[in-house]
């Protein structure tokens, strides 16, 4: 699978670069092929400390908290070990995808 990264905002597109970035509106020419853009753990069953702080942990909740029947809540936590959110070191954003389709970007801030 090819991954293309927007040089302006860091959005990742799968398989082909879009005509326009859905996050920042950059044109297709701003995208560069980078098949190492998505970092995967060395051993998914035995994460090291760095991986435990950076790999998102998802919890799927079949009971919807806000809307009626038919929706699913997804709770996302950055890391099995909570990632520090300090001014000099923090995760700036999380992009959420479903089946390679971009859903949303959540901006994070230091404490």
CATH of the domain at 32: 2.20.28
Query: Is pLDDT at 63 greater than 90 in this prediction?
Result: no
Quick one: 107 and 66 in the same domain?
Answer: yes
Looking at the structure of the chain, the number of domains it has is 2
Q: Is residue 77 very low, low, confident or very high in pLDDT (cuts 50, 70, 90)? A: confident
Name the E strands within the chain.
3-6, 12-14, 31-33, 56-61, 73-78, 93-98, 101-107
Query: Is pLDDT at 98 greater than 80 in this prediction?
Result: yes
Quick one: 31 and 65 in the same domain?
Answer: no
| Cα 41 → chain centroid | 15
Distance between CA atoms of residues 49 and 84, nearest Å? 13
Query: Is pLDDT at 68 greater than 70 in this prediction?
Result: no
Retrieve residue 91's tokens.
């995760």
Quick one: 77 and 103 in the same domain?
Answer: yes
Which residue range(s) make up the domain with 27? 1-37
Retrieve residue 94's tokens.
């999380």
Predicted structure pTM score:
0.77
């Amino acid at each position: 699978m090819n991954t293309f990264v927007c040089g302006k905002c860091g959005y990742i597109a799968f398989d082909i670069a879009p005509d326009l970035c859905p996050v920042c509106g950059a044109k297709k020419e701003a995208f560069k092929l980078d098949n190492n853009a998505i970092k995967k753990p060395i051993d998914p069953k035995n994460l090291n400390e760095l991986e435990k702080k950076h790999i998102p942990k998802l919890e799927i909740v079949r009971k919807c908290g806000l809307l009626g029947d038919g929706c699913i809540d997804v709770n996302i936590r950055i890391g099995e070990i909570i990632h520090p959110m300090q001014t000099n070191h923090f995760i700036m954003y999380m992009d959420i995808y479903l089946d390679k389709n971009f859903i949303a970007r959540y901006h994070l801030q230091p404490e």
